[in-house]
Amino acid sequence: MPLYNEGQVVREVILQARAVFPNIVCVDDGSSDNSADEAAAAGAVVVKHPINLGQGAALQTGLDYAMSDPSAEFFVTFDSDGQHGLDDALAMVTRLSEEPVDVIIGSRFLDGRTKPGRIKKVVLKLAVIFENVSTGVRLTDAHNGLRALNRRAVSVIRIEQNRMAHASEIVAKIGQNKLRYAEHPVHIIYTDYSRAKGQSVWNLVNILNDLIFK
Amino acid sequence: MDNQIIIKIVLIAALAVFAVFLMLPGSGARHLALRRLSMIGLFAIAVVAVVFPQLINDVANAVGVGRGTDLLLYGLIVVFIGNSLAASRRYRHTEREVTNLARALALAEAPKPGSHQD
């Protein structure tokens, strides 16, 4: 779980998540607020980046840490602002253990539960088209932070995009490594909090830049 | 204008070289060497230009640019773009190294998996 300045909500998010997933690694990406303390108080292992590197870097650090536990079989990436549903995450891990797939990506567009704004929808759809064309992996959602992976997937997907372009990078690496993938419908809970903090549409420009000038 | 074709080719070729440079996965030694060679080249050109000012005008005329100052401006732009590309490339390289360093530090300071107390 990448964590950056979510001190207001992260304790509650982790407390709820721990009821379902006992082992939670929170990577504090150089937060300037009390995020790390809140996460530790809620019972997560907190790995602290000494400086802010970006969400992609935090994800990779968290996966590195989790992989160092040889008993860990399945890995879930989960946003720390509470916009993901635990029931979705649990269902994805269950599918991962039962179906012959290496990675399951959440998609908010597979059912009608998620209500993104109009602009956001258009931008995400454009991103999906871009990803499908550039990676050959067919997905319906481009930037969904809820993913479930097995050891094989984590070991071949090495996130080198420190910032937001990591989502596209993961999809590209799924394609390059011929991982077996599936999508799972997830509900993104847009609260006033997540909307106020959420990604600016301008990030599209930054993501494209990061992808082109590697 | 036909007499400007030479300078157009020269400028586009220079930019194309930069584009290729940007795509190539470069080895450290070669990049450093190329950068130093181009620095020496620039230095030599600058000295020659100072010693023989008329030469720049002659070269400018030869490649189809009216005045020596215009040629200098073009050259400056090309060098500036090349320098910007090299700098951003170096920056990305440094960023990767910093990331690896920060990650190693973060993982070294984290508790061992399994030792965590509930």
Q: What is the ipTM of this complex?
A: 0.83
**Per-range mean pLDDT, top range of A53-67, B8-22, B25-39, B54-68:** A53-67
Domain count, chain B: 1
Q: Higher-confidence residue: B103 or B38?
A: B103
Length of chain B: 118
B61-89 per-position pLDDT tens digit:
888 888 888 888 888 888 888 888 888 88
Please report the pLDDT score of residue A142 as a whole number: 78
Residue B111: list chain A partners with CB under 8 A: 45
| Interval B1-18 mean pLDDT | 78
Mean pLDDT across chain B: 82
Mean pLDDT by 10 residues, chain A (214 residues): 92 93 94 94 94 95 94 93 91 94 92 78 82 85 90 94 89 92 90 68 78 73
| Angle separating helix axes B53-63 and B5-23, nearest 10 degrees | 90
Our CA angle for A203, A205, A211, nearest 5°, is 100
Residue A53 sits at the chain B interface (C-beta within 8 Å): yes
What is the amino acid identity at position A24?
I
Contact at CB, B102 and A49, closer than 8 angstroms: yes
Residue A202 sits at the chain B interface (C-beta within 8 Å): no
Residue B118 lies in a domain: no
Residue A139 · residue A155 · CB < 8 Å = no
Residue A19 sits at the chain B interface (C-beta within 8 Å): no
The alpha-carbon gap from B118 to the nearest alpha carbon of chain A, in Å, equals: 6
Domains of chain A with bracketed CATH: 2-212 (3.90.550.10)
Please report the pLDDT score of residue A42 as a whole number: 94
pLDDT(B118) > 60: no
pLDDT(B1) > 60: no
Please report the pLDDT score of residue A197 as a whole number: 62
Residue B46 lies in a domain: yes
Residue B84 lies in a domain: yes
Please report the pLDDT score of residue B116 as a whole number: 54
pLDDT(B4) > 80: no
Please report the pLDDT score of residue A141 as a whole number: 86
Please report the pLDDT score of residue A89 as a whole number: 95
CA-nearest residue of chain B to A60? B103
Rg (alpha carbons) of chain B, rounded to whole number = 23
CA-nearest residue of chain A to B99? A53
Quote the domain boundaries for residue B45.
2-14+35-108
Q: How many cross-chain Cβ pairs, A to B, lie less than 8 Å apart? A: 54
Residue B102 lies in a domain: yes
Residue B23 lies in a domain: no
What is the amino acid identity at position B69?
T
Residue A72 sits at the chain B interface (C-beta within 8 Å): yes
- Quote the CA–CA distance of B116 and B89 in Å, as a whole number: 41
Residue A52 · residue A30 · CB < 8 Å = yes
Order of strands across the sheet that contains A2-3: A2-3, A25-28, A45-48
